[in-house]
Chain A
Amino acid sequence: MVAQNIAFGILAAIMVVGALRVVSTNNIVHAALWLVTVLAGGAGQFLLLGQEFVAWVQVIVYIGAVIVLFLFAIMLTHAPMHPTGKLNNDMRLWSVVPAVLLAATLAWVLIAEWGNDKIHLLRPVRTAEVGTVVFRAYLVPFEVVGVLLLGALIGAVVLARKD
């Protein structure tokens, strides 16, 4: 238990620093790479919770595919636009207020509602159990998501191609 809490603390520190850098750095490529550290920390947290399938899917889909898409979009749109300019707008100080209020409200509710609950991990969740749940209870949503993904793919191609 102590080792798990130490691992949580290290991963959480990495994620907090990474998240703050994602929204504050003035180098757009660095922001995308800091997002990688946050997502990798998230995958580590999933592993810590014994949910390994979603952890590896996070690594493959987010870090492998989504970040590459981000970097492509940056290279296709960035080059002449903000060579040295600030990447945050003039509201960057005032915007801290709603963000802090949001975090404080969420923390208040969470502490009031789940202040004393502990996670007792019996064993890691096997991928076979996840597959059973997906293909028994959630078969229709799974198929709908597949069709949605196809629609999004075709839509992205139609939007981005040059006529």
Chain B
Amino acid sequence: MALNQFLLLAAFLFAVGAYGVITRRHTVLVLASVELMLTAVNLNLVAFGAFNNDPVGQVFALFVLTIAAAEVGVGLAIVLLIYRNLRSSDPDDVDVLKG
């Protein structure tokens, strides 16, 4: 297996995730797109770990997974709070700081 096939797949997933972050109109889906990008990063880490025959790649992927879980927990709590206060889940509606 070439190393690059995994890296190119991860690059594609990362770009799709970035597209989703820009375009999605529901905050939960923005967070889902962020998860896509984090999966791409994990794929990179694990592929390099396998390339170097070193378990450290897996360890870093586990750290990324843990941080992603924490991020989703806090992020979804914030989404619920925004929905409760503004009755909207569109990130474009959260513009109370705009003059």
Mark A residues whose CB is within 8 Å of B.
1, 4-5, 8, 12, 15-16, 19-20, 22-23, 28, 31-32, 35, 38-39, 42, 45-46, 48-51, 53-54, 57-58, 61-62, 65-66, 69-70, 72-74, 76-78, 81-82, 85-89, 91-92, 95-96, 98-100, 102-103, 106-107, 110-111, 114-122, 125, 129-130, 132-134, 137-138, 141, 145, 148-149, 151-153, 155-157, 159-160, 162
Main SS class of interface, A: helix
Across the interface, do B33 and A22 meet the contact criterion of CB distance under 8 Å?
yes
- By the criterion of a CB under 8 Å from any partner CB, how many residues of chain B are at the interface? 71
Q: Which of A73, A129, A149 contacts B28 (CB 8 A)?
A: A73
Contact bitstring B1-25, A, C-beta under 8 A = 1, else 0: 1111111110111111111101111
Across the interface, do A66 and B69 meet the contact criterion of CB distance under 8 Å?
yes
Contact bitstring B57-82, A, C-beta under 8 A = 1, else 0: 11101110111111111101111110
How many contacting A-B pairs (Cβ < 8 A)? 249
Q: How far is the CA of A3 from the CA of B59 in the complex (A)?
A: 27
- Closest B-chain residue to A124, C-beta based? B50
A62 touching B65 in the complex, CB below 8 Å, given contacts A53-B58, A73-B79? yes
